[in-house]
Amino acid sequence: MRYFWEIPYFLAILQTDEASRTRAVYEAIEAIEQRRLTPVNGAENVALMGAEAGVQMLIAEMTAKYG
């Protein structure tokens, strides 16, 4: 891992238990948002954009089950 926010993000992706996955997604969002509070450039910005898209996919997948 290169960035501190990647750990909660990867844990959210790997989580299989629904209740735990919801909590893990919130933790990933929190870590990403915390990092966005200060300027981000270069490779980390690209990685953050990918993680943000990944979180959106996780949320869509989770809400599709109930929609």
Residue 39 lies in a domain: yes
Q: How many domains does the chain have?
A: 1
Residue 19 lies in a domain: yes
Residue 58 lies in a domain: yes
Q: What CA–CA distance (Å, rounded) separates 5 from 27?
A: 9
CB 56 within 8 A of CB 32: no
Residue 40 lies in a domain: yes
Residue 1 lies in a domain: no
Residue 52 lies in domain: 6-64
| pLDDT tens, residue by residue, 12-62 | 999 999 889 999 999 999 999 999 999 999 999 999 999 999 999 999 999
Note the pTM of the prediction, 2 decimals.
0.91
Task: Kindly indicate the confidence band of residue 1, based on its pLDDT and cuts at 50, 70 and 90.
Answer: confident
Q: What CA–CA distance (Å, rounded) separates 19 from 45?
A: 29
Task: Kindly indicate the confidence band of residue 65, based on its pLDDT and cuts at 50, 70 and 90.
Answer: confident
Written in H, E and C, the secondary structure of the chain is: CCCCCHHHHHHHHHCCCHHHHHHHHHHHHHHHHHHCCCCCCHHHHHHHHHHHHHHHHHHHHHHHCCC
